[in-house]
Structure 1
Amino acid sequence: MKAKKAPVEAGGSDRVTPELWWLSGIMALGGFASLLDATIINVAIGPLAKVFDSDLATVQWVVTGYLLAITAAIPMSGWATARFGAKQTVIFSQVVFLVGSLLSGLAWSASSLIIFRVIQGIGGGLAVPVGQALLAQAAGPKRLGRLMSIVTIPALFAPLIGPSLGGVLIDHLSWRWIFFINVPFCVVTIALVLAKVKNVVAPSAGARLDLAGLVLLLPGLALLVYGLSEAGSAGGFGSGKVIGGLVAGAVLLLAFGVRALRIRTEGLLDLRLFKVPGFRSGTLAGFLMSMAMYGVLIPLPMYYQVVRGTSVLNSALLLLPQSLGYLLAIVLMNALTARLGVRNLTVIGIVLALVGTVPYALIDAHPDQLLLGATLVVRGFGLGASMMPTMTIAFASVPKETAPSATSAFNVFQRVGASLGTTILAVVLQQQLKDELPGNVHSLGQVEPGGTVARGLAESFGAPFWWAMLFTALALLPAFFLPGRRPAAEASADGAPDVPPARESESAILAD
């Protein structure tokens, strides 16, 4: 029986229909698995290194490969939505993520897992921005603020439950289940999209993808990260692989930047947005804070698993204070911004993130656990209080017609920062551990957790946190150039960035 179509309300209406509530719920579910998978993997790096008998420089690609794939997918999301339609692209993203999750769970080596995680990352990178674009098209500016509060719920709770859930699955089932668990989310989302969702804007065969930009950007990033990771394996920056990877990556990225600034047509990333002071400062601050935030997500649980000898679940639970601090900052964001202003709040957040990292930079084999937990709350609060305002300013500083390009560019720089931070800090940690391991112990997998050798490695785990503090401190430079208040001219009446209203001439968003 053919479903009846509900009429699309005018884009200027502020009434939220049941169909729009359905749509926002489906998009929230669709983005949950990809966000969960970005956090659930962090506690598994140590176990995966043992399972595949690999060093950290190799296993970190399980995280970095996923982040780079997301980086590739984000700028392609706008083209895919325009060319094939938002509904079709959402379904494609979920199918790719589902296939990548199944293959990752069946991986037989570190190399196969890295490849399958890249597939997974392509699906995950498309899911969130395409879902947000579909909702923006359907809701219009007056209703988007309320609906986006539903879509952002996964972003709040995924970091809270991801590491703990990963710990339960690894300790009581297998590491493979941290990927298999995505399957039911994907299946339900695909079924709901097929049954309920309609395109708002008709696909257009005229939409073009900047292939030249893609060919320059993605290999450039991959080669740069490869050069850094090889520095960890080779023990320095003198080998040909390291120099070749870094130089080739830098040349490709430089060529991409020059081309992006010179072409007149819309490129993969609109780097001309960096001429806008608010966007430039917000994006650079967010880039550096992403390096600091994501970079420590490998050494932090590994410290507890190796030095303290805790289970994967317990190491995950010990990370919970940072997520709680981050969540608290998000909950208080509106009140804090109104009282302090964007620049002051961002600077205070960066300082708190620095303070919260100090005990980990000075960590030893017998730390004060209460102090570590308390400072982790402070660090999480500081990260939340600094990263969210930078995103708000970046989006609000540009004209509304360039909002899609600004969203894509900001998110790409955040993911690149996360990739570089993860790689650099993993390399730093591996170098420190190599220098401290006894001559008869060749890898971390041979170290007895919580034993004498493991406790002797405790201070090596402090080095990555010194680097994280450096990235955090550098973020103060662009933060000081942020505007004191959000540019009011670019804000909509409900505080959300303006987006184009839904087109009234299209068919209904949802089938009844």
Structure 2
Amino acid sequence: MTRGGTTAAAPHGPRPMTIALVLVLGGVMVSLDTTVVNVAVDRLSQTFDASLATIQWIATGYSLALGAMVPTAAWAVGRFGAKRLYLTAVSAFALGSVLAGLAWDVPSMIAFRVVQGLAGGLVMPAGMTILIRAAKPEELGKLMGTNGLAILVGPLAGPALGGWLIDQVSWRWMFFINLPVGLAILLLAGRLFPADVTGARRSLDVPGLLLLSPGLVALIYGVTRFGDGASGAAPFAWIALGLGLAAAFAVRARFAAHPLIDLRLFRTRAFSAATGTMTVFCAGYFGTMILAPLYFQLVRGESATVAGLLAMPGALASGTAMQVAGRLADRIGPGRIVPVAVAVAASGFALLTALLTADASYWALAGATMLVGAGGGATIMPAMTAATRGVSHDQAPAASTTVNLVTTTMAAVGTASASALLSARLPDGGIKAVHRMSEAAREAAAPALADAFRFTYALPLTLVVAALVPALLIHRRSTEKES
């Protein structure tokens, strides 16, 4: 079996499915932490008497660190080995979780979340590299679907578990919970993952790193400045700086011997179309994760536990669709699945935008979120499969790094954009003003608050619809025909 003309290494030790199941735990640890924080935004804002623009940095700061670290993953895999890197990243993530649980104010929590992000930026690319190297091309879709169970378990258990911990125990335990999970991963991965193979080491592309990582940080920071109420040219200047640095990186990468990201991957239609789809889709899809819990808590007056439970239908639909789509991708090709899945997600967002009133039926909202979840679950993993299928053994780190960079960066951009839009539409004083309202005043303001959320949901709807364009360019061929 060959990939891109290079003979793939025969897997040794445990079966690829066993490796995928262990990687699910790592993905659960990362996604659980993300979804728990989404539910906790309102409570943390009250605890620290902070605005939404400030509190959202607990999520955005993590994403910034994640995005800044992902570009180094391909180099780090070559320098230290995928298994060793994975174990180190999991250890650092667990440590960062404990530190975040011990935070005494918002700045300290943001700092410790950055520690988590720096580690989390290496967990997924290293794990995906291990999986791609162990798998045969014809089984990659099924394994990606299995690996995607983390995107089911985290969003499904995270909001409910996090809400219960926040209401009944302490918000600190939403971070402490990662410690036993991390220890379990270290024990299993240390015993079951195949040993690292010796490969050619290359030097770190330091100039590229100094262009791309600060560029991503500047871009996302510029977007979040709108949520801080910044006016004038400052936010646009940060965004322009970020885009300029990213463009300079792209120009330099064309001539560098070992760039952080191998832009030659984009010469293939499958890779460029799939990553283009994820670029737009992930900004809309993941950018809304912070919105639904806030709607239920601010507009409807629900507790964190109830807000978490109400997120479960969408997460269940996402995970179910992911498993079905992952297996269908091996049979009929990702290109036949992704456009339909994007359209399903768009229909869900359209329904949410129409239904999200102050007294909307929870059953109707659950149906709309299930459409969103099903569309997201059936889009992301097949798109990843389309992007990474057929890459050579040597290209696996670069491919997985690029895919993860796209998803994490665009999730951060989407979250920052959604927070900025919502902050601009909330009453004067923002989320803190809502917290100071009496119950009667909040109920009177509920229609206006609901309108703010409906306005904000128009952004992800637009982005998801736009994702149909590159999705239609993904090849509509099965694995056998592509090989």
**Taking structure 1 as the reference length, what is the TM-score of the superposition?**
0.84
Question: Match for 2:302 among 295, 310, 335?
Answer: 310
Please name the residue that 2:220 is paired with: 225
Please name the residue that 2:342 is paired with: 350
Please name the residue that 1:210 is paired with: 205
- In the superposition, relative to structure 1, how do residues 152 and 366 fare at CA in structure 2: closer, same or farther (>3 Å)? closer
Question: Match for 2:458 among 466, 490, 497?
Answer: 466
- Tell me the SS of whatever aligns to 1:262: coil
Please name the residue that 2:151 is paired with: 155
Question: Does the alignment pair 1:127 with 2:120?
Answer: no
Partners of 2:273 and 2:471 within 8 A in 1: yes
Question: Match for 1:60 among 56, 79, 100?
Answer: 56
Question: Match for 1:45 among 41, 44, 47?
Answer: 41
- In the superposition, relative to structure 1, how do residues 175 and 190 fare at CA in structure 2: closer, same or farther (>3 Å)? same
Question: CA–CA distance in 2 between the matches of 1:471 and 1:47?
Answer: 29
Question: CA–CA distance in 2 between the matches of 1:63 and 1:463?
Answer: 22
Deviates more, 1:358-367 or 1:418-427: 358-367
Please name the residue that 1:430 is paired with: 423
Question: CA–CA distance in 1 between the matches of 2:222 and 2:9?
Answer: 49
Unaligned runs of at least 5 residues, structure 2: 1-7
Aligned-pair identity (%)? 34
Offset of residue 341 of structure 1: 5.2
Please name the residue that 2:255 is paired with: 262
Partners of 2:144 and 2:326 within 8 A in 1: no
Q: Deviations over 1:445-503 (max 9, x none)?
A: 32446532344311111111100111011101111222122464655xxxxxxxxxxxx
Please name the residue that 1:404 is paired with: 397
Offset of residue 318 of structure 1: 1.0
Question: CA–CA distance in 2 between the matches of 1:262 and 1:157?
Answer: 42
Partners of 1:72 and 1:218 within 8 A in 2: yes
Question: Does the alignment pair 1:33 with 2:26?
Answer: no
Partners of 2:139 and 2:330 within 8 A in 1: no
Question: Match for 1:324 among 316, 323, 336?
Answer: 316
Q: Deviations over 1:204-263 (max 9, x none)?
A: 6x4321111111111111111111111222254x153x2332222222112112112232
- In the superposition, relative to structure 1, how do residues 321 and 31 fare at CA in structure 2: closer, same or farther (>3 Å)? closer
Partners of 1:12 and 1:141 within 8 A in 2: no
Question: CA–CA distance in 2 between the matches of 1:383 and 1:326?
Answer: 6
Q: Deviations over 1:383-405 (max 9, x none)?
A: 22222322222223655653332
Give the partner amino acid of 2:227: G
Q: Deviations over 1:290-338 (max 9, x none)?
A: 1111111111110000110011111111111111221221232156557
Question: Does the alignment pair 1:359 with 2:354?
Answer: no
Question: Match for 2:435 among 426, 445, 448?
Answer: 445
Partners of 1:137 and 1:201 within 8 A in 2: no
Offset of residue 73 of structure 1: 2.9
Give the partner amino acid of 2:41: I
Q: Deviations over 1:114-165 (max 9, x none)?
A: 1111110122222233234345556777887887666443333222111111
Question: CA–CA distance in 2 between the matches of 1:197 and 1:152?
Answer: 18
Give the partner amino acid of 2:382: P
- In the superposition, relative to structure 1, how do residues 168 and 56 fare at CA in structure 2: closer, same or farther (>3 Å)? same
Deviates more, 1:366-375 or 1:463-472: 366-375
**What do you get for the CA RMSD once the two structures are aligned?**
2.9
Please name the residue that 1:96 is paired with: 92
Q: Deviations over 1:375-431 (max 9, x none)?
A: 111111112222232222222365565333222112211111111111101100000
Which has more helix, going by share of residues? 2
Partners of 2:205 and 2:259 within 8 A in 1: yes
Unaligned runs of at least 5 residues, structure 1: 1-9, 492-512
Q: How many residues are paired up?
A: 473
